[in-house]
Amino acid sequence: MALVCAAAILAAPGTAYADPAPKDPGPKDSKSLEQVRKETDRLYHDAAVATDAYNAAEEKADQQSDEIVRIAKAIVAGEKKVDRLKQRAGAAARAQYRGGGLPPQAQLMLSDDPQKFLDNAGRMRQGQQATKGLLGELARTQEDLRLYADDASERWRELDANREAKAEAKKKIKAKIKAAEELESKLEKKERERLLRMEQEAEFDRQAAWIDSGALEEITGKASSSGKKAIKYATAQIGKPYEWGAEGPRSYDCSGLTSEAWISAGKTIPRTSQEQWKQLPRIDIEDMRPGDLIIYHEDASHVGMYIGDGAIVHAPRPGRDVTIAGAGSMKILGVVRPDK
């Protein structure tokens, strides 16, 4: 049944992985056009890697900003506590002054009432312990403040480093996308149309090879309730443009789409495809079910959401919209499950 459904989808017109028109050999410059296709693929891939680096740096910067705010609040609270402790220490010193400035031991020796002597001795021990505890608490609080200040300084250094990483990744993304767009802009309209067909043919060939391998026959898993919610969100974004670093609602990059889809299902997952691959539980392809995330390429630079029948929904690359494609239309690195 899965194969029948997959075959029906693959043959359906208008899908991103449908069988394109019969291959057009084109003019004699087909070889050079194929080189353009490979070069643009490489540039967009490099842009995707840089986008992952940008998103990771942005996520870390947000976490560090939150941590700096938390530390600042702790420092303010600690300073208020130090003030209170100093006031209590001052009150104890003033009480001693009102007692004539004599040490407590001397005041005890001068007492001619045995019971009063005993009472005063007990209070003296309690007072000494309280004073010792007060001074100890004051010292610990002051040490905490010093550690908080050191921690805040380290977080600021990390924040600055991540801001620099973001800026560097942003430059790289823009440069790669610009280079790819310049390559495509030099093509005539008919050549651009042929280039698109070549991309579709390459995707279709990879998808067909994946199906021919028998992989789809073994995939029979059903979506979980949260997986269905994630799929509903992701497929509702079809037709919205790809934009690097975007998390919706008007545009998305690949991991922005998958992370927001799972947030809508009540599950927070890592922001980038590489961290999704590193942190989420891995699943064998034959155990895959709708809602799982398929990670692509050896460097985990792309991700799509499996929706069943051999298909994914994903945000492909700059210049493309969120769409449905064949799950095997790109090189699969592995599968992860957000709600395992």
Residues belonging to the active site: 254, 302, 314
Could you tell me the two tokens for 282? 């891995």
How many other CB atoms are found less than 10 A from the CB of residue 272?
27
- Listed in sequence order, the residues at least 6 apart from 232 whose beta carbon sits closer than 8 Å to its beta carbon are 264
Closest CA to 2 of 332, 307, 283, 334: 307
Please tell me the distance from the alpha carbon of residue 212 to that of residue 203, in angstroms, as a whole number. 14
294 DSSP β-pair partners: 304, 335
Q: With residue 173 as reference, give the H or E element that holds it.
A: helix 114-185
State the chain's maximal CA–CA distance in angstroms.
120
Please tell me the distance from the alpha carbon of residue 235 to that of residue 254, in angstroms, as a whole number. 13
Could you tell me the two tokens for 12? 């359906």
Chain centroid to Cα 223, Å, comes to: 24
User: Before 249, cis peptide (omega within 30)?
Assistant: yes
- Listed in sequence order, the residues at least 6 apart from 155 whose beta carbon sits closer than 8 Å to its beta carbon are 64, 67, 68, 71
Q: Are 134 and 88 in contact (CB under 8 A)?
A: yes
Query: Exposure of 280 by Cβ count < 10 A (0-12 exposed, 13-18 middle, 19+ buried)?
Result: buried
